[in-house]
Amino acid sequence: MNIDNQKNKHVYWNPYFGGFLLGILILFTFYMTGRGLGASGAMKSGVVTIVDALASNHAEHNAYYSKFVKEEKSPLNSWLVFEALGVLIGAFISGGLAGRIGWRVQHSPKITSKRRLVFALGGGVLFGIGAQIARGCTSGAALSGMAVLSTGGFITMLAIFGTGFLVAYFFRKNWI
């Protein structure tokens, strides 16, 4: 083992323990808010706020945006926004404590950093479009749906991982 590997050796939590904690968090969220976790709602709030700031007339007269634009309340004043901010802050704290914060692009030696970033951006855009079509992200549709034993939640989770498994075949040359 070379010096770089010794310096970058990290101790990670057991993934089963992490999954257990996520389950407890989902149950707690249902108890406190009456609904499960989700991140796409925070993104929607951010987009609505930006559109309202740049083109308020458009936002007020648009069938979609007008549902979220109110004089007395900012779309950012939502617990989902604070949830997403908490995830980001928690990730930075965790990364800082483990010494893993840094600017790097992890990729296979078979592709460039630029190609990896293009794939990541493309995947993120497709995932965002899918979350909008599905009226929720994987957290809301799959995890929270499964937590309440919703058939749709199980179907969503199977579709997400099944599609990922099938599509991975075509992109495996970028990683293996």
Written in H, E and C, the secondary structure of 29-95 is HHHHHCCCCCCHHHHHHHHHHHHHHHCHHHHHHCCCHHHCCCCCCCCCCCHHHHHHHHHHHHHHHHH
DSSP 8-state class, residue 144: H
Residue 8's pLDDT is 54
Residue 79's pLDDT is 83
Cβ(80)–Cβ(137) below 8 Å: no
Distance (Å, whole) CA 100 – CA 94? 8
Distance (Å, whole) CA 28 – CA 10? 30
Full-prediction pTM beyond 0.95? no
CB atoms within 10 A of CB 147: 18
Mean pLDDT of the chain: 83
Q: 151: burial class by Cβ within 10 Å (0-12, 13-18, 19+)?
A: exposed
Residue 176's pLDDT is 63
Reduced to 3 states, what is the DSSP secondary structure of residue 105? coil
Residue 172's pLDDT is 76
Q: What is the pLDDT of residues 93-127, one digit of tens each?
A: 988 887 888 888 877 788 888 988 998 899 888 88
Q: Which residues of the chain have pLDDT under 50?
A: 1-2
Residue 95's pLDDT is 85
Query: Could you please report the per-residue DSSP string of 114-135?
Result: HHHHHHHHHHHHHHHHHHHHHT
Residue 17's pLDDT is 93
